[in-house]
Chains A and B, each alone.
Chain A
Amino acid sequence: EAEVAQSPRYKITEKSQAVAFWCDPISGHATLYWYRQILGQGPELLVQFQDESVVDDSQLPKDRFSAERLKGVDSTLKIQPAELGDSAMYLCASSLVTKGTQYFGPGTRLLVL
Protein backbone atom coordinates (compact mmCIF):
# COMPACT_ATOMS: atom_id res chain seq x y z
CA GLU A 1 0.00 0.00 0.00
CA ALA A 2 1.40 3.42 -0.99
CA GLU A 3 2.35 5.66 1.91
CA VAL A 4 3.71 9.13 2.56
CA ALA A 5 7.32 8.92 3.78
CA GLN A 6 8.92 11.40 6.18
CA SER A 7 12.34 11.71 7.74
CA PRO A 8 13.69 12.03 10.28
CA ARG A 9 11.06 10.64 12.66
CA TYR A 10 12.56 12.51 15.61
CA LYS A 11 14.79 15.55 15.84
CA ILE A 12 16.28 17.25 18.89
CA THR A 13 17.99 20.56 18.35
CA GLU A 14 19.06 23.61 20.29
CA LYS A 15 17.40 26.96 19.75
CA SER A 16 18.97 29.11 17.02
CA GLN A 17 20.06 26.02 15.07
CA ALA A 18 18.72 25.10 11.64
CA VAL A 19 16.58 22.00 11.05
CA ALA A 20 15.18 20.41 7.91
CA PHE A 21 12.45 17.85 7.34
CA TRP A 22 11.89 15.75 4.23
CA CYS A 23 8.69 14.35 2.74
CA ASP A 24 8.04 11.97 -0.16
CA PRO A 25 4.33 11.92 -1.09
CA ILE A 26 2.34 9.02 -2.50
CA SER A 27 3.38 8.48 -6.10
CA GLY A 28 1.24 10.49 -8.50
CA HIS A 29 -0.15 12.86 -5.87
CA ALA A 30 0.06 16.40 -7.21
CA THR A 31 -0.85 18.20 -3.99
CA LEU A 32 1.45 18.20 -0.97
CA TYR A 33 0.82 19.76 2.43
CA TRP A 34 2.93 20.54 5.49
CA TYR A 35 1.09 20.77 8.83
CA ARG A 36 2.20 21.55 12.38
CA GLN A 37 0.49 19.79 15.28
CA ILE A 38 1.02 20.95 18.84
CA LEU A 39 0.34 18.34 21.51
CA GLY A 40 -3.37 18.12 22.29
CA GLN A 41 -4.43 20.10 19.23
CA GLY A 42 -5.39 19.35 15.66
CA PRO A 43 -3.01 19.79 12.72
CA GLU A 44 -2.74 23.31 11.28
CA LEU A 45 -1.73 23.95 7.68
CA LEU A 46 1.63 25.64 7.13
CA VAL A 47 2.01 25.38 3.36
CA GLN A 48 0.34 23.73 0.37
CA PHE A 49 1.96 22.87 -2.96
CA GLN A 50 0.31 22.08 -6.26
CA ASP A 51 3.07 20.32 -8.19
CA GLU A 52 6.08 22.59 -7.63
CA SER A 53 4.09 25.77 -6.94
CA VAL A 54 3.06 27.16 -3.57
CA VAL A 55 -0.69 27.75 -3.51
CA ASP A 56 -1.12 28.64 0.18
CA ASP A 57 1.57 29.70 2.63
CA SER A 58 -0.50 32.23 4.54
CA GLN A 59 0.20 30.53 7.91
CA LEU A 60 3.91 29.90 7.30
CA PRO A 61 6.16 32.09 9.51
CA LYS A 62 8.25 33.23 6.59
CA ASP A 63 10.90 34.97 8.68
CA ARG A 64 12.18 31.58 9.82
CA PHE A 65 10.36 28.86 7.84
CA SER A 66 10.87 27.93 4.21
CA ALA A 67 9.51 25.12 2.06
CA GLU A 68 10.30 23.88 -1.40
CA ARG A 69 9.18 21.19 -3.82
CA LEU A 70 11.64 21.73 -6.65
CA LYS A 71 10.67 18.93 -9.04
CA GLY A 72 7.08 18.62 -7.93
CA VAL A 73 7.71 15.36 -6.12
CA ASP A 74 9.42 15.34 -2.72
CA SER A 75 9.57 18.36 -0.46
CA THR A 76 11.72 19.92 2.25
CA LEU A 77 10.59 22.13 5.14
CA LYS A 78 13.31 24.16 6.86
CA ILE A 79 13.38 26.18 10.08
CA GLN A 80 16.20 28.64 10.66
CA PRO A 81 16.70 29.61 13.42
CA ALA A 82 14.65 27.21 15.53
CA GLU A 83 12.88 28.64 18.58
CA LEU A 84 11.56 26.90 21.70
CA GLY A 85 7.98 27.40 20.51
CA ASP A 86 8.66 25.37 17.36
CA SER A 87 8.59 22.13 19.35
CA ALA A 88 5.75 20.15 17.75
CA MET A 89 4.92 17.32 15.35
CA TYR A 90 5.45 18.26 11.71
CA LEU A 91 3.18 16.30 9.40
CA CYS A 92 3.30 15.93 5.65
CA ALA A 93 0.23 14.91 3.66
CA SER A 94 -0.57 14.41 0.00
CA SER A 95 -3.67 14.14 -2.15
CA LEU A 96 -4.28 13.13 -5.74
CA VAL A 97 -6.05 16.41 -6.42
CA THR A 98 -6.63 19.56 -4.34
CA LYS A 99 -10.15 18.53 -3.35
CA GLY A 100 -9.20 14.94 -2.62
CA THR A 101 -8.64 13.00 0.56
CA GLN A 102 -5.39 13.90 2.30
CA TYR A 103 -3.17 11.01 3.40
CA PHE A 104 -0.67 11.71 6.15
CA GLY A 105 2.84 10.51 6.79
CA PRO A 106 4.14 9.37 10.19
CA GLY A 107 5.37 12.85 11.09
CA THR A 108 8.59 14.32 12.47
CA ARG A 109 8.58 15.12 16.18
CA LEU A 110 10.77 18.17 16.83
CA LEU A 111 12.07 19.14 20.25
CA VAL A 112 13.88 22.46 20.57
CA LEU A 113 15.99 22.85 23.72
Chain B
Amino acid sequence: EDQVTQSPEALRLQEGESSSLNCSYTVSGLRGLFWYRQDPGKGPEFLFTLYSAGEEKEKERLKATLTKKESFLHITAPKPEDSATYLCAVQNNTDKLIFGTGTRLQVFP
Protein backbone atom coordinates (compact mmCIF):
# COMPACT_ATOMS: atom_id res chain seq x y z
CA GLU B 1 0.00 0.00 0.00
CA ASP B 2 1.29 3.46 -0.91
CA GLN B 3 2.09 5.45 2.21
CA VAL B 4 3.67 8.77 3.19
CA THR B 5 4.91 9.53 6.71
CA GLN B 6 6.04 13.00 7.73
CA SER B 7 8.06 13.91 10.81
CA PRO B 8 8.04 15.68 13.08
CA GLU B 9 4.31 16.45 13.38
CA ALA B 10 5.16 19.89 14.75
CA LEU B 11 8.34 21.94 14.90
CA ARG B 12 9.05 25.18 16.76
CA LEU B 13 12.09 27.15 15.68
CA GLN B 14 13.67 30.41 16.68
CA GLU B 15 14.13 32.83 13.80
CA GLY B 16 17.43 31.97 12.09
CA GLU B 17 17.55 28.41 13.50
CA SER B 18 17.95 26.06 10.52
CA SER B 19 16.32 22.61 10.51
CA SER B 20 14.95 19.83 8.29
CA LEU B 21 11.56 18.21 7.76
CA ASN B 22 11.38 14.54 6.79
CA CYS B 23 9.07 12.71 4.40
CA SER B 24 9.48 8.93 4.15
CA TYR B 25 7.46 6.99 1.61
CA THR B 26 6.58 3.61 0.16
CA VAL B 27 5.01 3.77 -3.27
CA SER B 28 4.35 1.59 -6.28
CA GLY B 29 6.34 3.23 -9.04
CA LEU B 30 7.28 6.74 -7.97
CA ARG B 31 6.35 9.27 -10.66
CA GLY B 32 7.23 12.29 -8.55
CA LEU B 33 7.46 13.67 -5.03
CA PHE B 34 5.79 17.00 -4.31
CA TRP B 35 6.17 19.54 -1.52
CA TYR B 36 3.38 21.99 -0.75
CA ARG B 37 3.01 24.77 1.80
CA GLN B 38 -0.39 25.29 3.42
CA ASP B 39 -1.37 28.33 5.49
CA PRO B 40 -4.29 28.00 7.94
CA GLY B 41 -7.65 28.03 6.18
CA LYS B 42 -6.11 28.07 2.69
CA GLY B 43 -5.36 25.59 -0.06
CA PRO B 44 -1.92 24.01 -0.51
CA GLU B 45 0.61 26.10 -2.45
CA PHE B 46 3.00 24.22 -4.72
CA LEU B 47 6.70 24.43 -3.83
CA PHE B 48 8.73 21.68 -5.55
CA THR B 49 8.61 18.51 -7.59
CA LEU B 50 11.43 15.93 -7.39
CA TYR B 51 11.57 13.02 -9.80
CA SER B 52 14.66 10.93 -9.08
CA ALA B 53 17.03 10.08 -6.24
CA GLY B 54 19.80 12.62 -5.87
CA GLU B 55 17.74 15.48 -7.24
CA GLU B 56 17.73 18.78 -5.33
CA LYS B 57 15.69 21.97 -5.77
CA GLU B 58 15.91 25.33 -4.01
CA LYS B 59 13.63 28.30 -3.51
CA GLU B 60 14.67 31.15 -1.23
CA ARG B 61 15.32 29.60 2.21
CA LEU B 62 13.98 26.17 1.22
CA LYS B 63 15.86 23.24 -0.31
CA ALA B 64 14.29 19.88 -1.11
CA THR B 65 16.25 16.67 -1.60
CA LEU B 66 15.22 13.14 -2.59
CA THR B 67 16.54 9.63 -1.92
CA LYS B 68 14.97 6.28 -2.81
CA LYS B 69 13.07 6.13 0.47
CA GLU B 70 12.70 9.69 1.74
CA SER B 71 12.79 13.39 1.04
CA PHE B 72 13.99 16.25 3.18
CA LEU B 73 12.89 19.86 3.19
CA HIS B 74 15.74 21.93 4.60
CA ILE B 75 14.91 25.38 5.94
CA THR B 76 17.89 27.72 6.28
CA ALA B 77 17.68 30.72 8.60
CA PRO B 78 13.86 30.65 8.76
CA LYS B 79 11.75 33.75 9.27
CA PRO B 80 8.35 34.03 10.98
CA GLU B 81 6.67 34.22 7.57
CA ASP B 82 7.86 30.66 6.91
CA SER B 83 5.39 29.46 9.56
CA ALA B 84 2.93 27.08 7.89
CA THR B 85 2.13 23.40 7.46
CA TYR B 86 4.38 21.68 4.93
CA LEU B 87 2.79 18.78 3.06
CA CYS B 88 4.63 16.04 1.19
CA ALA B 89 2.91 13.94 -1.49
CA VAL B 90 4.00 11.12 -3.77
CA GLN B 91 2.57 10.40 -7.20
CA ASN B 92 2.25 6.68 -7.87
CA ASN B 93 2.19 4.71 -11.10
CA THR B 94 -1.52 5.52 -11.61
CA ASP B 95 -0.68 9.23 -11.29
CA LYS B 96 -2.58 9.46 -8.00
CA LEU B 97 -1.24 11.83 -5.31
CA ILE B 98 -0.93 10.38 -1.80
CA PHE B 99 -0.38 13.00 0.89
CA GLY B 100 1.25 12.82 4.28
CA THR B 101 -0.33 14.48 7.31
CA GLY B 102 2.11 17.40 7.21
CA THR B 103 4.59 19.10 9.53
CA ARG B 104 3.31 22.19 11.30
CA LEU B 105 6.18 24.69 11.48
CA GLN B 106 6.19 27.68 13.80
CA VAL B 107 9.04 30.20 13.63
CA PHE B 108 9.31 32.67 16.49
CA PRO B 109 11.08 36.06 16.27
Q: Chain A residues in contact with chain B, CB under 8 A?
A: 4, 6, 40-45, 56, 91, 93, 98-99, 101-107, 109
Contact = CB atoms under 8 A, between A and B. Distances in A.
B44 A43 contact: yes
B89 A91 contact: no
B1 to A, nearest CB: 14
Query: Would you call the interface of chain A mostly helix, strand, loop, or mixed?
Result: loop
Given A42-B101, A101-B49, A91 B96 contact: no
Interface residues of B, number: 22
Contacts, number: 47
A104 B97 CA distance: 13
B99 interface: yes
B55 interface: no
A99 B91 contact: yes
Contacts of A109: 41
A107 B100 contact: no
Contact of B97 (A45, A103, A107): A45
A85 to B, nearest CB: 18
15 contacts: A4-B43, A41-B102, A43-B97, A44-B99, A45-B96, A93-B43, A99-B31, A101-B46, A101-B49, A102-B46, A104-B44, A104-B46, A105-B43, A106-B42, A106-B43
